[in-house]
Amino acid sequence: MKEKILASLKRFNISEYILNIKNYKSAQMFFIKKSLDTKRAENTVSYNVVVYRSFEKDGKQLKGSSSVYIYNGMTDDEIDTAIKRAYLAASFVCNPTYELMECKGNDFIKIESDLNNYSIEECCEKTAQALFSEDNRSDVFINSAEIFAYEYNVNIITSTGIDSGFVRRYISGEFVAQCKEPQDVETYKNFEYFTLDTEALKSKVKKTLEYTLERAKATEAPKAGKYRVIISDSYVPKIFEYYYSRAEASYIYTKYSTFEVGQNIQALNSEGESAEIKGDKITMKIVPAIPLSYEGVWQKEHEFMDEGVLKTFHGGVRFSRYIGVEPTGDYDPKGLNIKPGSVSIEDMKKKPYLWVVNFSDFQMDDFTGHFGGEIRLAFLFDGEKVTPVTGGSINGSLLDCQTNMQFSKEIQREEDFEGPYAMCFEDVPVAGI
């Protein structure tokens, strides 16, 4: 099929293109409680072709692009028709012209991981063993789970001479914990790991079961007001994505972001003025989870923020060319590595707090800096006792509290994030009773 697609591009004299070939293999396990209900395996290949067309309009040099998926079993005529239509569609996309990524050496990399030591079926089975090893209570239990082990082989071929790729494995899945007394409640959790990190999964399951039991006990919402708020687990990476997103080349080019390299972006308030950072300062690296972007950019680890100061922009080829920086690639999945903080979680909890451990839907607005969501479960410490609460919502502004944030010494590793397990914010508005 690869040869057929390249031959079709040649027939239409298409001089600029990117061909992405992805071969996905997976092992899948579906459980009802601890009983294996369904076991499946998949092996699929997809072909995505992006064609580019350069032209002049009103005296301006423009370049349009359009993508099309090609499937196994398509005839030569069907491939020709699909590519011809995409090439025509590209003529209606009027972007300022730019150069595609040049070839800087070709290679094929197998990403190192302990997952490579086993078959993907064995990876799935070992993950299942870890998942259910903590499910040993009578008052709360896992009522269903899905586990997936993936291997995907990616080959990227471009008109500029790139012919590279990589093989990567990872584990993902989800489970639902249930507690029936004193009220029937459920907690949904998902997970994704690039290594066979069974201890991290065991810890997640244990905490989820404990939180589900506490959720069953919670009956009241916190009183409305401002609180010292702690968030943890998967909600922490969402906060740091604000800085990552606003330093992306497309945000800079379109003026959605006013970040500047060398600027202390953590010190900025909602008025765009600088303030003193009294809390923990952000030191962050971007550590790509895959070595090659879909545009053929070799992605490397680089320093992103140093004690609040922005060190570099990042982005794909088009917008990086527009703002005059070297393309770093579209990090998907991205990898953020954050320096841990100055205090332990236990020290963080010595003063009154509202620790939200589960939101119905947590949102981080990249444009306004607002974050929040409906509280599904939180622990309220009034200085004397801890009470589980549910209901109400938080509505914080990162720009109002980023100079006073605290990060935990304890770290978490999951998906594309390594950094503090918990964060603490001062005077966050909470809507409650």
User: Residue 272 pLDDT more than 80?
Assistant: no
Segment 381-395 mean pLDDT: 95
pLDDT given for residue 56 in this prediction: 95
Segment 274-295 mean pLDDT: 94
The confidence band for 411, taking pLDDT boundaries of 50, 70 and 90, is: very high
- Tokens encoding 97: 């012209």
pLDDT given for residue 414 in this prediction: 80
pLDDT given for residue 250 in this prediction: 97
User: Residue 393 pLDDT more than 90?
Assistant: yes
Three-state secondary structure of the chain: CHHHHHHHHHHCCCCCEEEEEEEEEEEEEEEECCEEEEEEEEEEEEEEEEEEEEEEECCEEEEEEEEEEECCCCCHHHHHHHHHHHHHHHCCCCEECCCCCCCCCCCEEECCCHHHHCCHHHHHHHHHHHHHHCCCCCCCEEEEEEEEEEEEEEEEEECCCCEEEEEEEEEEEEEEEEECCCCCEEEEEEEEECCCCHHHHHHHHHHHHHHHHHHHHCCCCCCCEEEEEEEECCHHHHHHHHHHHHCEHHHHHCCCCCCCCCCEHHHECCCCCECCCCCCCCCEEECCCCCECCCCCECCCEEEEECCEECCCECCHHHHHHHCCCCCCCCCCCCEEECCCCECHHHHCCCCEEEEEEEEEEEECCCCCEEEEEEEEEEEECCCCEEEECCCEEEEEHHHHHHHCEEECCEEEECCEEEECEEEEEEEEEECC
User: Residue 271 pLDDT more than 80?
Assistant: no
The confidence band for 432, taking pLDDT boundaries of 50, 70 and 90, is: confident
The confidence band for 40, taking pLDDT boundaries of 50, 70 and 90, is: very high
- Tokens encoding 192: 């994704």
**Cα(364)–Cα(368) distance, integer angstroms:** 9
The confidence band for 360, taking pLDDT boundaries of 50, 70 and 90, is: very high
| Cα–Cα separations (whole angstroms), residue 252 to 217, 247, 335 | 47, 7, 21
- Tokens encoding 221: 């919402």
Would you list the domain boundaries of the chain?
A: 2-214, 218-433
User: Residue 22 pLDDT more than 90?
Assistant: yes
Given a contact cutoff of 8 angstroms between Cβ atoms, the answer to whether 287 and 111 are in contact is no
State the CB neighbour count (10 A cutoff) for residue 323: 12
Question: For the chain, first and last CA: distance in Å?
Answer: 62
**Cα(235)–Cα(250) distance, integer angstroms:** 25
pTM here is 0.91
Segment 154-161 mean pLDDT: 98
Segment 312-336 mean pLDDT: 94
Task: Give the CA-trace dihedral at 394, 220, 379, 269, to 10 degrees.
Answer: 10
Of 403, 377, 382, the closest CA to residue 392 belongs to 377
- Say how far residue 322 (Cα) sits from the centre of its chain: 25
Q: Percent of the chain beyond pLDDT 70? A: 100
| Cα–Cα separations (whole angstroms), residue 156 to 106, 210, 298, 408 | 10, 45, 11, 40
Given a contact cutoff of 8 angstroms between Cβ atoms, the answer to whether 355 and 232 are in contact is yes
CATH ID of 2-214, from 3.30.2290.10, 2.40.240.10, 3.40.50.720, 3.40.50.150: 3.30.2290.10
Segment 80-84 mean pLDDT: 97
**Cα(60)–Cα(57) distance, integer angstroms:** 5
**Cα(81)–Cα(427) distance, integer angstroms:** 60
